[in-house]
Amino acid sequence: MSRPFSALIAAAIFLSACHKKETAEVEGPAPVQVTAVTEDTIRRTVTGDGVLWPKDQASVMAKISAPVQKFYVNRGDHVKEGQLLATLEHRDLTSAENETKGALEQAESNLRMTSGATVPEAVIKAETDVEAAKEAMDAAKKVLDSRTELYKQGALAKRLVDESQVNYVTAKATYQADQEHLRALQNVGKEEQVKTASAQVNAAKSHAATAAAQLSYSEIHAPKSGIIADRPLFQGDMASPTTALLTIVDISHVIARVNVPIAQASSLRVGMPATLSFTDNPETLEGKVTVVSPASDANSTTVQVWIDAANPNERFKPGAAVHAVIVAEQIKAATVVPVAAILPGEEGGQAVLVVDSSSIVHRRAVRLGVRDGDKVQVENGCRPGEEVVIVGGMGLDDKAKVKVVDTTVRESDDEDENAPPEPGKDQKKDEKKK
């Protein structure tokens, strides 16, 4: 036999052996990893991205136009409600207040004089005039009566009787006029004079209160507690009612304004718990939904949701990007499998491969419910306690034979191989071999 022919026979035998080996490997049970179907509490969550805002913010405005005399705080300072923040120039306002105080004192003095001296003196004079007029009238009446009697006796001329009659009528008219004057002073005049004086006092008080308020506006106090976020003016700059003098923010709590798709926002309600996470910080914040906007944004087709969260030590600042996970529902005792167990089913559905006690897989169509991270709810198709394939299921046919690989045992074996040998272990192996 020639050498080339022998080489061809050897090559054929080698190729045949390789083919048999590959055939044996293909026809053997496929290795798979499985896990048990469990019952667990699963959450239906809604996610969205947004930005942090302070829970409360106040722009401190000056109520008068005046130069800033002094600032007592700087940007970043913590302030408490009512704390003095700045003072404005107020020399002219102080002078105006002093002037109104003097006018008020004068009006009050006039009221005291009117009610205590002026009116009583006028009433006394009017009473005196009434008494004098009455005496004059009585005297005129006596003269008239006397002359009338003498005229009847023929002892007196008619002309004198007429004169007495005129005098009596005049005295009577004077008496009646003085009575009316006294009555007016007692009933109307005194009251009106006191009212006028009181009105002057009230007007003076109003002017004094206005001047005091204007002066108080020169002191700027914190309307709430928080942090000075902005102070655009400097000492000497003109403060005006149209420009913010200071800005105070409260970040002891923060509000995450998150945009959520319209389809998911319909299930959200005020009070639902939420978790806020950040791209540049491993810490998270726990909060609750406080606002679900009733309208959507036409440009982004999203609904804005506000989440209120406590911000201990004010670690997180407004403007930070945030990712929110809102728990819309908690389902207890749900049938749960890992997401890795879900395979494409027939006609666009989903399926799982259930492994029985004989290591035979059974493809079952499933209806999925809520997904929470790497877990998914199975509403029907498998039961708790059954084992489903999580690795190696792609391409497996229904009722195929498989070999379940226990990765935990393999990993522990690898760890044992890498571990240093125990004392006497090699000696025990040699004894077993013998």
Q: What angle do CA 213, 219, 223 make, to 5 degrees?
A: 95
- Token couple for 54: 């302070």
Cβ neighbours of residue 369 under 8 Å, at least 6 residues apart? Answer: 42, 331, 334, 376, 377, 378, 379
29-41+332-418 matches 45-59+252-330 in fold: no
What is the model's pLDDT at position 99? 82
What is the model's pLDDT at position 119? 55
- Token couple for 111: 């009221």
Between the CA atoms of 164, 167, 172 and 174, what dihedral angle is there, to the nearest 10 degrees? -170
Mean pLDDT by 10 residues, the chain (434 residues): 44 48 59 92 90 92 90 93 91 82 81 64 77 87 84 79 84 86 67 75 84 85 92 91 91 94 89 92 92 85 93 90 91 91 85 91 90 89 91 87 72 46 45 42
DSSP string, 85-119: EEEE--HHHHHHHHHHHHHHHHHHHHHHHIIIIIH
Q: Which fold has domain 92-215?
A: Methane Monooxygenase Hydroxylase; Chain G, domain 1 (1.20.58)
Q: Which fold has domain 45-59+252-330?
A: Elongation Factor Tu (Ef-tu); domain 3 (2.40.30)
What is the model's pLDDT at position 394? 86
Q: What angle do CA 46, 52, 57 make, to 5 degrees?
A: 135
What is the model's pLDDT at position 11? 47
Element (H, E) at 211: helix 190-216
Compute the distance between CA of residue 38 and CA of residue 20 in angstroms, rounded to an integer. 42
pTM for this structure? 0.57
What is the model's pLDDT at position 114? 67
The DSSP symbol for 386 reads -
Domain boundaries, the chain: 29-41+332-418, 45-59+252-330, 92-215
Q: How many alpha carbons fall within 13 Å on the CB side of residue 273? A: 8
What is the model's pLDDT at position 90? 84
Count of Cβ atoms closer than 10 Å to residue 39 Cβ: 13
Count of Cβ atoms closer than 10 Å to residue 204 Cβ: 21
End-to-end Cα separation, the chain, in angstroms: 47
CATH of region 29-41+332-418: 2.40.420.20
What is the model's pLDDT at position 297? 80
